[in-house]
Chain A
Amino acid sequence: VSLDDAEVRIAAQEAQLVAQIADGNIEEPMKELYRRYAKNLYRFGYHMLGDVGLAEEMVQESFQRLWRSARRYEASRGSVAAFLFVIARSVAADIRKRPSSRPLLQVEDFQLPTLPDSADQILDGLVVREALDKLSSAHAEVLRLGLVEGLTQAEVAEQLGLAIGTVKSRTFNGLRALRIALGERGIHAA
């Protein structure tokens, strides 16, 4: 992911917020970082843990650890976002190891996804999700029915009352639009 001028400014601003937290000025900088990242942290937590309560716990614990670790943050080694998602990954791993979290899974053979290897992998996934949410409704609808509902092209066609060829075209054009949107965000999916 390449950083343009705006991203450099944001990175510097967020590094300053973490520095303020490290100096004991906690509340406002923490609120600002919460508003920027809580939604994506929560989505990541829900994806990794499969439970809304555990996802909220992961968010809360991640910000606790951010406060604890603020003095150790070095802007030269990575963005605040990457720092925070490395923390979140660690928190999610801890929660998954805990016996008490297992009975909460609603389906006995439910398989949690593999934990991502890096913060970049998490962030890329979240950026893709945001880009997907911003597609035009015609494209987003066929992609959502496939990805979320698991419907085949024929089933989507039946549900929407469209020809199957139209559904296929919207699927491919939606994927092309998504690729362009991701390119604008610095992510290049082949």
Chain B
Amino acid sequence: MSVILYHWEPNANSGKPMLTLAEKGVAYESQYLDLLQFDQHKPAYLAINPDGTIPALVHGSRVLTESTPMMEYIDDAFKGPPLKPTGPEARWRMRWWMRFFDSYFAPSLSMIGWSIFVGPAVRLRPEEDLRAAIDRIPLESRRIAWRKAMFNEFSPEEIAESKRRVLFATKALEQHLSRFTWIAGDTYTLGDINGFNLGYALPLSQPDHCNETKTPHIMEWLRRIYERPAARETWAKGRTQMSARIKILERAP
């Protein structure tokens, strides 16, 4: 059965299935969609995922669009090294932290990222093009997000609250990694793949809060993942400066 992954950069939600497939050793057809050109809202892609969100995995006739459950599917459906822990307690811990990453940490971190990276990158284009692009977005929640990013409608209070949450979540993660080697416990799992996609650039974007002194466990955890061949292979597929930020994780010679 064919495996096709529609994705953007190895980053955030797109990077989750990319790194998972690489770790499993699954060959797949890569369909790169340029988020900044709104490829994900064009008819060709809406025929695959009517919600217009990326990533999407097409396995034979099956279409999967929720990135975290998608990672579990890849682990369940394909041969290769297991990426879920064997015990139910560790599996629960992996899932608990993935939800914390997806629904608490990531929305705040991405609001900051969209306000400083995505917004300015698309704002170079004429306003009427941007308004037309918004009209093609299927989901109301995504239209709101894009409108805010395109026209820089984030309030100072929203950004300040997002920064507070990023700092809070960074501290919680450091506390967790001071007790456990990996997110789920003793072994590298989908929880680490998820967290790495969220946090690989934290030492660059949050240098005052994520560094050798304040978060030594996070730093070491990120470097251990960066040194995995699957991570090298996945981030080599990046085309923008955003995914190039991963170089911050090179160890000093």
A and B part of one assembly: no
- Which residue numbers of B lie inside 8 Å of A, CB to CB? none
- Which residue numbers of A lie inside 8 Å of B, CB to CB? none
